[in-house]
Amino acid sequence: MSVGEPLPAFTLRELQERIRTLFGSKDRRRGVDGTFMWFMEEVGELAAALRDPDCPRDNLAGEFADVLAWLATLANIAEVDLDAAIHAKYGSGCPKCRSTPCACGTAKP
């Protein structure tokens, strides 16, 4: 892979497995409560970055990555397959009206 060439994309399932491989034993020891606190801290950091007009784009991207990684960690601990969960809830369109895009008017702005 050369410099500047885009990296291959992870599927959601691959991301979850990658996080499990990297951190799974530490995550299980920390448990749901400790992991949830880390997740919320990362959400707070993302919120601060989103509000900062001077936040560099790569820092913002890093905060999004951290939130997604901690969400995957929580799902791993809870034994939830995120890929299956997303497909089950949103795979047929809006969970209420089943349209794509949502046509029921319940989508939050």
Q: Model confidence over 57-102: pLDDT tens digits?
A: 999 999 999 999 999 999 999 999 999 999 999 999 999 999 999 9
Mean of pLDDT over the chain: 92
More confident residue, 2 or 56: 56
Domain ranges of the chain: 12-78
| Per-residue confidence (pLDDT) for residue 72, from 0 to 100 | 98
Q: What is the DSSP letter of 101?
A: S
CATH code: domain 12-78 is 1.10.287.1080
- Where b means 16+ CB within 10 Å and e means fewer, 14-37 reads ebbeebbeebeeebeebeeeebee
Count CB neighbours of 80 within 10 A: 13
| Per-residue confidence (pLDDT) for residue 105, from 0 to 100 | 75
* Contacts with 7 (C-beta within 8 Å, 6 or more apart), sequence order: 1
Task: Count how many Cα atoms sit within 13 Å of the Cα of residue 64 in the half-sphere of its side chain.
Answer: 8
